[in-house]
Structure 1
Amino acid sequence: MDDKRNLIAAILLSVAILLGWNFVAEKFFPTPAKPDVTKTVAGTGGAPAATPAAQGQPSALPTPGAPAAASAPAAIRPIETVLREGQRIPIETPALSGSINLVGARIDDITLTKYRQTIQKDSPPVRLFAPGGTAAAYFASIGWSAQGVQVPGPNTVWTATGAKLTPTTPVTLSWANGAGQTFRIEYSIDANYLITAKQTIANTGTAPISASSFALIDRLGKPTDPHEKDSWTIHIGPTGYLGGKSVFDVDYDDVEEAPNRAVRYNSAGWLGFTDKYWLAAIVPAKGERVTAAISSPAANNYQTLFARDFRQVAPGTQVTTNSRIFAGAKEVSILSKYQDDQGITRLSNAIDWGWFEFFEVPIFKLLDWLFRQVGNFGVAIMILTLIIRTLMFPIAQRQFGSMAQMRLVQPKMKALQERYKDDKPKMQQELMKLYKDEKINPLAGCLPIVLQIPIFYALYKVLMLTIEMRHQPFILWIKDLSAPDPLHILNLFGLLPFTPPSLLSIGILALILGITMWLQFRLNPQSTDPVQQQVFKIMPWMFMFIMAPFAAGLLLYWITNNCLSIAQQQWMYRKFPELKTAIAK
């Protein structure tokens, strides 16, 4: 009767885990997006409410003498229409293209030419920045605040020297206020994603002036794609190295609910907005003292800003400051290079590795190195699994031997449990004596499983976070290892016109995972407890449902691991045939 009750309890628990997993996974292990749902603008999932973006003026750190923001656009217009208007200076590098708007001197047009919006070959490149007045307005702006003199504002039309901004040809913008002050911005760019703005204010007037320079990033709307939202494991939103630490705990809602709709910091290494794969950030000069803020000047509008202290500019002198703008993909090697060579403190933390960075980064570097050797990330994942299994081979051998020994002494254990069923302390004492006499470590079987948990989690983070894994194909129908298996059995692999719910989205990889896990359990020494036998029969198929929505690369890792475990078990039985015979008896 007790065995039946335990069996029913085990089945009910399995069902509860299966049904409740989706709720837990949405918060702690968000599944990657399907490969064909990337939106038009990086990090933007659609047109937000028609609230105009701020016009490139600082709102979080108001300063005396700052000009008023320009009037809001009358209506949201297509990006192509806005880009055709006015005067622009083209930007062209091996990694990105776009333009600088001479109205306001804004960098408001950036597309990342190395990355496509979807896995389709004719898919357009990912757009990061878009001009004001569009549904996904997102741009960088630099400027000045001054006391008692006119400074350039969002509607200022600048004069350009230079036809195109490239890694070898800088562009200088200039404007004079007619009262003796001239303002210049010299833009330069490297071959990747870093733009440097050299800001100069020259005072040719008769009296000293007090001025401050600033840099900001302005963004309209927040991501609406569920896979581009902040979660427990992946931070998306405002970020930076602020107040002496990397900031991952401030999201868009926090900024809107803060006093005066702003979160202020007394120092900044860099700050900006991060999406899963993209980053826009402003960076002061190395070692420079600035104050910073993350703010929401209006509903659905967000800014990150740093500003310098006011300085006196005497007649006949000039003051120059340097600001940097990162606008691009969060490539691990590029972020690390800027961190080391440019002195941008902890820029690599724009990738939210979390607490286990010390373990995840080596896994990524090994996987990336393997990819560069074999040219296929799927094969690289399989080789990585083989390396991990090889390193863990002695531990796995001990696990298998311990499990076999436990099965061999099951009759003695059941006899002890029956003899001392009314005296639990005495039963535990006798069981420990039995383990000692038989030289059995009851915890040895758990060690490989415990060691697999951080490896699996590290691979999960690598596949979810690193752009190097984005849109990487394997073979046949697997076109993106960072996305779930696109073929679902329930809709006959896409022949039926519907998408199954995530709980029932069983793909071919998930089915193979269930089968290999079932085979692995079949080869394990069988338990004499009927309840455990039933649980082990259910577990492979329960995991098949749980793992189905995960990235295809994770399923490939687990399948390869199961196959290697099966091969190891077969080898053990062939090397020690008496072990299998003893267990059978």
Structure 2
Amino acid sequence: MDNQRNLIFAVVLCGLLLFGWEAIVQRLYPQPDQPAKTTAAAPAIPGDGKTASSATPADDGSIKHTREGGLTDPAQQALEARDLKTVLADPNRVKIAAPEVSGSINLVGAKIDDLTLTSHSQSVEKDSGPVRLFSPDGTPAQYFAQLGWIGQGVKVPDPKTVWQASEGPLTPDNPVTLTWNNGVGQQFKIELSVDDKYLITARQTVANTGGQSVMVRPFALINRTSKTASVDQWTIHSGPIGEFGDGVNFGTNYKDVAESGTTTPDGKTGWIGFTDIYWLSALVPQSNASVDADFRALGNDIFRADVIYDSLTVPSGRQISRTTRMFAGAKESDVLNAYQKAGIPQFSNAIDWGWFGIVEKPILWLLKHLYDFAGNFGVAIILLTLIVRGLMFPIAQKQFASMAAMKAIQPKMKALQDRYKDDKQKQQQEIMALYKAEGVNPLAGCLPMLLQIPIFFGLYKVLMLSIDMRHKPFILWIKDLSAPDPLHILNLFGLLPFTPPSFLGIGVLAVLLGITMWATFRLNPTAMDPIQRQMFSLMPWIMMFVMAPFAAGLLLYWITSNLLTVAQQSYLYSKHPQLKAQADKDKVDQERSAKAKG
């Protein structure tokens, strides 16, 4: 039957769009190429000690990356904890105590290398501690920002320079100033301030009291290891990121930078840095200044994003400053939007919305408001599903009405097909005339399915990307809706001492998904073709395995949607009994045909 074939086509199309849409779009509408080049003549930052030629591949495949990122090797985790205890005990530090970030500034080298996010815990366990974003140079989770100057015939501070600091801690109400005098007439100053979220502002000033002009190039950099990066997927980018005049670029990954040594994006740099699924570090250069901005591979899985200002000539008796803002924190949509309104270009798109952003952003807005109303993110997802299906219900009614109308004109269509069986063109013309005369749209039955595709994909991206759902519980064993179902049937819900592979990690939600999907297929007329019938019978259980590793919140949405589909189909069949009668007749005919062939 045409309706069954249309349904199969729609299901396949949905799968292709869900898992292949962005890959297809990237092929048809690729982003402008970002030229990757090794720049041997690029200015060397003091103390760097590494060049593009020393770069090694970023990841040989032995490093296990997780969805959120971080160290996964127990030995490395233990070493990191031991190193932090030692390094952070150094007295040459100024404390950072802002509402959303805490840590310290290393006065040796003017590095911001100790930063934790106070509102975000490492795990669902209450005593897990805050997420650590920055770690000092040389530790296994190395990740820090540094400020300085490149000098031309002038003594500038280097990574071993010990700066003098004004009284801390660094808070929104108390800026901190770092100073250093080179002893030959130049004083260097870094004025640091922090807001109540995740933005640190650094004003770098050179005051020249010497007898001659000097030339310097202020710089800011972010240095990190890719070993702690989150998983880089084709739907969710993790790695180098930035805004370069024509939108946010997600096209460069760590491997690209490692292979080229230095990657220099085209266009004016609005901001540049590194992203994980939930976290972001970015440098925002002074808007009216010219800069060189690059991604560099330093070897041993170490990468750098830098902003190097053009040379400044500082006359005797004068001083010149450059101001760089640094974001280091969580990718909270409201916060990013606020910073974008404050002048950071395209900052809200640091979240990898993809091509369905026009759908995803309203879904996130509605989901957050439903959460504020319900107080439970799982309930908010259920309410969102009810709203979406409620809005789609009039279209579903039209779909059934169209199916009923198509069923009513089947005898007339059969007569036309018999009458013009030798003239296909005339047959098609007469059938189209019949559709017009009867007021039937043969494509109306596909509309609800096609409309749900972007909604489902949009919700998939929202649940995968939104930090708002991170560590949010639902009921009973569902402690984190952004993570897969923690209960696995194959290990008897944790009683057996092993963790099944993700593909075999079938949980309670995955089983419920399979059952509810099977129930929705049972309500639809069975396909006439035996192959199609087998496909429909297997699809719920295949999807059960495919969807098991996905976020519990996404499975909750799909289960709720399936239950609503069953209720909706039952109601609409009651309004169009001829369709139900025909479906039952088709099933009986198919069973008889199968027995006859058997």
Bin the TM-score by the shorter chain: 0.7 to 0.9
Q: Within 1, Cα distance between the matches of 2:441 and 2:538?
A: 26
Structure 2 residue corresponding to 1:251, chosen from 236, 250, 253 = 253
Deviation at 1:408, TM superposition (A): 5.8
The separation in 2 between residues aligned to 1:407 and 1:490, in whole angstroms, is: 46
| Residue 281 (structure 1) aligned with residue 282 (structure 2) | yes
Q: How many residues align?
A: 534
Q: Which amino acid aligns with 1:167?
A: P
Deviation per residue, 1:479-515 (Å, 9 max, x gap): 1111121222232222223333333332221222222
Q: Distance in 2 between matches of 1:272 and 1:247?
A: 11
SS of residue paired to 2:339: helix
1:417 deviation in Å? 7.2
Q: Deviations over 1:295-340 (max 9, x none)?
A: 1133422111111111221111111221111110011011111111
| Equivalence for 1:308 | 309
Aligned to 1:129: 134
Q: Say if 2:238 and 2:275, in contact at 8 Å, map to a contact too.
A: yes
TM-score (norm 2): 0.81
CA deviation vs aligned residue, 1:323-378 (integer Å, no higher than 9, x gap)? 1111100110111111112x111111211111221221111111111111211111
1:239 is aligned to 241
Structure 2 matches for 1:533-552, cutoff 5 A? 533-552=533-552
1:90-127 CA-to-partner distances (Å, cap 9, x unmatched) read 10111111000010111000011111111112112111
SS in 2 for 1:150: coil
Question: Percent identity at matched positions?
Answer: 57
Name the residue aligned to 1:448.
448
Counterpart position of 1:40: none
C-alpha deviation, 1:392, in angstroms: 1.2
1:209 to 214, 217, 229: 214
Q: Match of 2:167? A: 162
User: Which segment is superposed worse, 395-404 or 99-108?
Assistant: 395-404
SS at match of 1:399: helix
Give the SS at the match of 1:120. coil
**1:209-253 CA distance string (max 9 Å, x none):** 1122111111133446xxx23222111111111254321111111
Q: Which residue of 1 aligns with 2:183?
A: 178
Runs of 5+ unmatched residues, structure 2: 2-7, 25-38, 51-78, 586-598
SS at match of 1:268: coil
* Correspondence 1:193-204 to 2 at 5 A: 193-204=198-209
Residue 269 of structure 1 corresponds to: 270
How far the C-alpha of 1:469 sits from its partner, in A, is 1.5
Please tell me whether the aligned partners of residues 217 and 305 of structure 1 are also in contact (alpha carbons under 8 angstroms). yes
Calculate the TM-score normalised by the size of structure 1: 0.83
Q: 1:201 to 1:456 in 2, by over 3 A?
A: same
Is the alpha carbon distance of 1:408 and 1:527 closer, same or farther for their aligned partners in structure 2, counting shifts above 3 Å? Answer: farther
Q: Secondary structure at the match of 1:345?
A: coil
User: Using the alignment, how far apart are the partners of 1:103 and 1:503 within structure 2?
Assistant: 48
Matched-pair contact (CA < 8 Å) for 1:285–1:322: yes
Shift of 1:431: 5.6
Distance 2:42 2:529 in 1: 72
C-alpha deviation, 1:541, in angstroms: 2.7
Would you say the 8 A contact 1:516–1:562 is kept in 2? yes
1:333 aligns with 2:341: no
Query: What letter matches 1:322 in structure 2?
Result: T
Change (3 A) 1:152 1:387: same
Q: 1:458-484 CA distances to partner (integer Å, 9 max, x unpaired)?
A: 111111112112111111111111112
Equivalent residues in 2 for 1:536-575, closer than 5 Å: 536-575=536-575
Partner amino acid, structure 1, of 2:517: M
Cα deviation, residue 549, structure 1? 2.2
Once the two structures are TM-superposed, the CA of residue 177 in structure 1 deviates from its matched residue by 0.5
Q: Does 1:230 align with 2:228?
A: no
Given the superposition, is the C-alpha separation of residues 421 and 84 from structure 1 closer, same or farther in structure 2, using an over 3 Å criterion?
farther
Q: CA deviation at 1:175?
A: 0.7
Q: Is the 8 A contact 1:210 1:311 kept in 2?
A: yes
Amino acid at match of 2:567: A
Going from structure 1 to structure 2, the CA distance change for 1:300 and 1:282 (only over 3 Å counts) comes to same
1:579 Cα deviation after fit: 5.5
In 2, Cα distance between equivalents of 1:494 and 1:422: 66
Task: Output the CA distance in 1 between the equivalents of 2:481 and 2:473.
Answer: 6
Aligned residue in 2 for 1:97? 102
In 2, the alpha carbon distance for the partners of 1:61 and 1:97 equals 38
Question: Which residue pairs with 1:349 in the alignment?
Answer: 349
**Which residue in 2 is equivalent to 1:370?**
370
CA pair 265-140 structure 1, distance change in 2 beyond 3 A: farther
Closer, same or farther in 2 for the Cα pair 1:267/1:435, shift >3 Å? closer
- Distance verdict in 2 for CA 1:99–1:488, change over 3 Å: same
Distance 2:167 2:177 in 1: 7
Superposition map of 1:69-148 within 5 A:
69=48, 78-148=83-153
CA contact (8 A) 1:181 1:204 kept: yes
Q: Distance in 1 between matches of 2:23 and 2:494?
A: 29
Counterpart-to-counterpart distance in 2, 1:540 and 1:434: 37
Alpha-carbon distance in structure 1 between the residues aligned to 2:183 and 2:470: 51
Which letter maps to 1:287?
N
Which one is further off, 330-339 or 414-423?
414-423
Q: Against the structure 1 CA distance between its residues 411 and 122, is the aligned structure 2 distance closer, same or farther, given a 3 Å change threshold?
A: farther
SS of alignment partner, residue 85 of structure 1? coil
> Is the alpha carbon distance of 1:281 and 1:572 closer, same or farther for their aligned partners in structure 2, counting shifts above 3 Å?
same
C-alpha separation in 1, matches of 2:240 and 2:269? 13
Q: CA deviation at 1:529?
A: 5.7
Q: Displacement of 1:531 after TM fit?
A: 5.4
- Give the match for residue 497 of structure 2: 497
Residue 414 of structure 1 deviates from its aligned partner by: 7.3
Q: Distance in 1 between matches of 2:316 and 2:492?
A: 78
Are 2:94 and 2:170, in contact at CA under 8 Å, matched by a contact in 1? yes
Per-residue deviation, 1:426: 6.8
Cα separation, partners in 2 of 1:514 and 1:427, compared to 1, 3 Å = farther
> 1:474-493 residue pairs with structure 2 within 5 A?
474-493=474-493
CA deviation digits over 1:65-98, x for unaligned, max 9?
Answer: x644479xxx986222221134110101111110
How far did 1:285 drift? 2.2
The corresponding residue for 1:298 is: 299
Other structure's SS at 2:252 match: coil
